[in-house]
Structure 1
């Protein structure tokens, strides 16, 4: 199993070039074709109709957006030529939550950037990352907005809770697991957990993974009731020296608002290493 088509979302944010570099490394590792998908925040035209002089602002915004897209496209083609990776450039117009998912669904893996509160250019759409993760039907690799982000996957931490989402994430991450030097599968127990018989043990899913030639170190951790599982995972990443997390993304919709599970929210806000999320 391998990823043969990778889509990397690109925009005008400061971390876009680093995200492209990681996607290039992954495309080279997996012998995959890389699509650079350019999509940025597009202000709704109707919002400017009622204000005098805003038509000129909208036109100037569009012109600047196309200029930045052209510069990034030139960089993309230069970089895939340098890396000897096959690829294509796609620039899409429109509301990102509508126009990005169809391209993400055509890929084996989509690479996204974490929203950066210090960089206004990283805002693409309301709950953009959450929307893509939950609607694409494909695994999404999220790149942190802080720190250096070398190609991940040397030591992978799997967050295992026996759920459908975690199971999906494990299988979606198999190309990474098969290339990893070390894989740690961690189950975090709290006093409010379901009875042991209702949860698939980590050792059982580790045996399934091992049939793919992956050696897995199975760990269990007991924490106090009310402890943040997301914070526990991030602490373990630091203690064990992991460079990537694999986990399921749990969510449901309430009144058209995406409501995420606690561990998923923590990762989206505080990730320190790339996180592969699958739903």
Structure 2
């Protein structure tokens, strides 16, 4: 499908690089760019007044904490408004110079509410672009990525630092594992896969069976993509004791791929969060643009 509405999330303190990256990609395909500035506000988590050098719990502790939280939010909001306005004006000036269709807005919320705010925005977009500044933000970045992917059905394009991103990639590597998430990623990326000069469907350590990969692993998805006009080859790679993530990442480098397309959170979300997984490993250490869907 074509990407006609693209979302870019940035913080008030981030550089312009993420917005510039998203704007350049929108210019490639003639898409509208929606920029959302989210200055996530951290909650005050505790309050212990000191009297005579001894910590003291106040009467009505919960009420005291709520009062402090509200006061903190109001003070931060008052201080941030001029900074947010300057940031918004700067982004609009940048996008006007590129002659793009765009809109810029600010969502002011607690960190705990960022995921839901992003999810609501993503539902009305074709693609969310996560640039290096957001990707390297250890506080807001993971919340935005999860909010963009979970319960939205929409794809995310992660663009790491120094990567050359394009929505017209020449060589694309598809990480395939016969799961629903991988199928959705392929469907969402179908337009760019069909336009690519070369698409490599990669399976790591597949075993032929009738319940998973089938009698000939990779044949079904290759046939599906071929019917849509994609130029497809299938690579069956041994794991050789390495994780699937490392094998995929290395093969992408070896084949000079411009992008990796794969499903996100294929295993149980909690298990991936605790013990890691293909998605987490590649998101944490991306080497080239990564197109994710769930």
Relative to the length of structure 1, the TM-score reads 0.83
> Separation in 2 of the partners of 1:182 and 1:13?
39
Whether 1:210 aligns to 2:226 is yes
1:99 to 114, 117, 120: 117
Q: Which residue matches 1:157?
A: 173
Offset at 1:141? 0.9
Distance 1:180 1:189 in 2: 26
2:245 matches 1:246: no
Equivalence for 2:187: 171
**Residue 64 of structure 2 is aligned to residue 69 of structure 1:** no
Q: 2:116 & 2:180 partners in 1: Cα distance?
A: 26
Once the two structures are superposed, what CA deviation does each residue of 1:192-225 show, in whole Å capped at 9, x if it has no partner? x573662153232122222332212221111235
In structure 2, the CA distance between the partners of 1:92 and 1:127, relative to structure 1 (3 Å rule), is closer
**Post-superposition CA distance 1:97-116 (Å, at most 9, x none):** 12111010111111124677
Q: 1:109 aligns with which of 127, 138, 147?
A: 127
Aligned 8 A contact 1:252 1:260 in 2: no
User: Which protein is bigger by CA-based radius of gyration?
Assistant: 2
RMSD: 3.2
Within-5 A mapping of 1:1-279: 1-14=1-14, 16-44=15-43, 50=65, 58-59=73-74, 61-94=76-109, 95-113=113-131, 123-124=139-140, 127-144=143-160, 146-151=161-166, 153-189=169-205, 193=207, 195=209, 198-200=212-214, 201-225=217-241, 227-249=242-264, 250-254=266-270, 262-279=277-294
Number of aligned residues: 271
Partners of 1:24 and 1:151 lie apart in 2 by 11
3-state DSSP of counterpart to 2:162: coil
| Alignment gaps of 5+ in structure 1 | none
Q: Which runs of 5+ in 2 are unaligned?
A: 48-63
TM-score, L = length of structure 2: 0.79
* Other structure's SS at 1:247 match: strand
Residues 252 and 194 of structure 1: is their aligned pair in 2 closer, same or farther, counting only changes over 3 Å? farther
Compared with structure 1, are the counterparts of its residues 125 and 159 closer, same or farther at alpha carbon in structure 2 (3 Å cutoff)? closer
Q: Would the aligned equivalents of 2:16 and 2:91 in 1 still touch at CA under 8 Å?
A: no
